């Protein structure tokens, strides 16, 4: 069955949405986005559900409401032993495997995003592709992220890293690229660069550049909107 694009936009569910970097990219690609996060996200700029992502997704599958969506994306927090984990000194449960199992149970196209593993660590994602800020003119950060999907994803050739990056905590000097990790400087500059003026420092630290999600959302558009499920298209709110 091929679905027809009606008066509304196809809906995407963005699990672990935080302040909405991935969601903003999906919205720019044309999706009507709903975000889910366990914490309140007053800065999140789209429809928002505060819930445990796994419990909420399980409920949508049980009730059949998942078929209102054409695409589900998920950014579980980075796992033990990754660089960001060590920097933040926090413990997170391993969420990728249970998230994947539920995403597979939806029968819908899905994308899981995570940071690349450090050193010799195995990548918890299956056959991921990597995006890098240097692939996107206008960005001034490398911010590598890995993406797994049950649909094939194409990515550009990884460019050589030619720009020096600023040292942690120092202001960005002309010609340098930034790392929005730890106690970074230049919140205003980084908001502008990533195109996320609503975010605070915590959101900037966590987010993927919206252009990454927009790139993937546009690439999947034809396939997810023709997907042979029962997803409804929401009429414009
Ligand atoms: C890496 S951030 C996501 C960043 C987001 N994709 C973006 O681009 O802005 C991970 C988020 O997962 C949320 N989170 C952690 N465990 C969760 C759970 N069990 N259910 C829902 N959200 C959870 C955290 O509160 C955090 O906001």
pLDDT tens sequence across 68-106: 999 999 999 975 544 554 545 455 669 999 999 999 999
> Confidence band (pLDDT; 50, 70, 90) for 1?
very low
CA triplet 166, 81, 142: central angle to 5 degrees? 30
Q: DSSP alpha helices (H): ranges in the chain?
A: 21-29, 53-63, 83-88, 96-106, 187-194, 201-206, 210-225
Q: What is the mean pLDDT of the chain?
A: 88
User: Among residues of the chain, what percentage have pLDDT more than 70?
Assistant: 86
pLDDT for the residue numbered 231: 45
Q: What is the tens place of the pLDDT at every residue in 29-76? A: 999 999 999 999 999 999 999 999 999 999 999 999 999 999 999 999
Ligand 1 pocket: which residues have CB below 6 Å? 16-22, 36-39, 52-53, 75, 77, 206-208
What is the rounded CA–CA span in Å between residue 136 and residue 146?
15
- For 84-120, b where at least 16 C-beta lie within 10 A, e where not — what string? bbeebeeeeeebbeebbebbeebebbbbbbbbbbeee
Task: Please tell me the distance between residue 208's alpha carbon and the centre of ligand 1 in angstroms.
Answer: 11
The protein residue whose alpha carbon is closest to atom 19 in ligand 1 is: 52
Task: Please tell me the distance between residue 201's alpha carbon and the centre of ligand 1 in angstroms.
Answer: 15
Residues with Cβ within 8 Å of residue 137, at least 6 apart in sequence? none
pLDDT for the residue numbered 119: 83
> Confidence band (pLDDT; 50, 70, 90) for 183?
confident
Task: Please tell me the distance between residue 226's alpha carbon and the centre of ligand 1 in angstroms.
Answer: 29
Q: What is the tens place of the pLDDT at every residue in 134-143? A: 999 999 999 9
Q: Model-level pTM?
A: 0.90
Cross-strand bridge partners of residue 14: 35, 73
Q: Ligand 1: which of 15, 18, 111 to mutate, most ligand atoms within 8 Å of CB? A: 18
Of 185, 190, 216, 192, the C-alpha closest to 75 is 216
Q: Ligand 1: which of 38, 98, 99, 202 to mutate, most ligand atoms within 8 Å of CB? A: 38
* Candidate CATH numbers 3.30.2130.10, 3.40.50.11600, 3.40.50.150, 3.30.360.10; the one for domain 11-225: 3.40.50.150
DSSP-assigned states of every residue in 152-164 = ----PPPPP--S-
Task: Please tell me the distance between residue 127's alpha carbon and the centre of ligand 1 in angstroms.
Answer: 22
Among 47-61, 106-120, 219-233, the least confident range: 219-233
Pairing of strands 47-50, 129-131: unpaired
Task: Please tell me the distance between residue 16's alpha carbon and the centre of ligand 1 in angstroms.
Answer: 3
Pairing of strands 71-74, 110-114: parallel
3-state secondary structure at position 135: helix
What angle separates helix 53-63 from helix 96-106, to the nearest 10 degrees?
20
Q: For ligand 1, what atom is nearest to the CA of residue 93? A: 16
The protein residue whose alpha carbon is closest to atom 4 in ligand 1 is: 207
Task: Please tell me the distance between residue 85's alpha carbon and the centre of ligand 1 in angstroms.
Answer: 14
pLDDT for the residue numbered 8: 82
Q: For ligand 1, what atom is nearest to the CA of residue 78? A: 1
pLDDT for the residue numbered 91: 54
Q: Which range, 5-19, 115-129, 131-145, is most confident?
A: 131-145
What is the rounded CA–CA span in Å between residue 66 and residue 47?
16
Q: What single DSSP character describes residue 99?
A: H
pLDDT for the residue numbered 126: 96
């Amino acid at each position: 069955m091929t679905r027809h694009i009606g008066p509304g936009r196809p809906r995407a569910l963005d699990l672990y949405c935080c302040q909405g970097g991935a969601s903003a990219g999906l919205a720019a690609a044309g999706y009507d986005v709903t975000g889910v996060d366990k914490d309140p996200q007053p800065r999140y700029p789209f429809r928002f559900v505060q819930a445990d992502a796994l419990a909420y997704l399980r409920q949508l599958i049980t009730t059949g409401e998942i078929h209102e969506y054409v695409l589900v994306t998920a950014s579980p927090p980075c796992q033990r032993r990754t660089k960001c984990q060590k920097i933040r000194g926090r413990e997170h449960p391993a969420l990728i495997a249970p998230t994947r199992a539920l995403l597979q149970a939806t029968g819908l196209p899905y994308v899981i995003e995570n940071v690349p593993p450090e050193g010799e660590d195995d990548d918890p994602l299956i056959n991921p592709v990597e995006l890098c800020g240097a692939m996107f003119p206008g960005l001034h950060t490398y911010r590598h992220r890995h993406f797994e999907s049950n649909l094939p994803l194409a990515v550009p050739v990884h460019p050589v890293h030619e720009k020096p990056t600023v040292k942690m905590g120092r202001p960005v000097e002309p010609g340098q690229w930034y790392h929005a990790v730890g106690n970074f400087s230049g919140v205003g500059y980084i908001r502008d660069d990533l195109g996320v003026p609503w975010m605070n420092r915590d959101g900037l630290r966590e987010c993927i550049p919206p252009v990454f999600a927009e790139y993937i959302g546009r690439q999947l558009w034809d396939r997810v909107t023709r997907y042979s499920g029962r997803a409804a298209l929401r009429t414009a709110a």
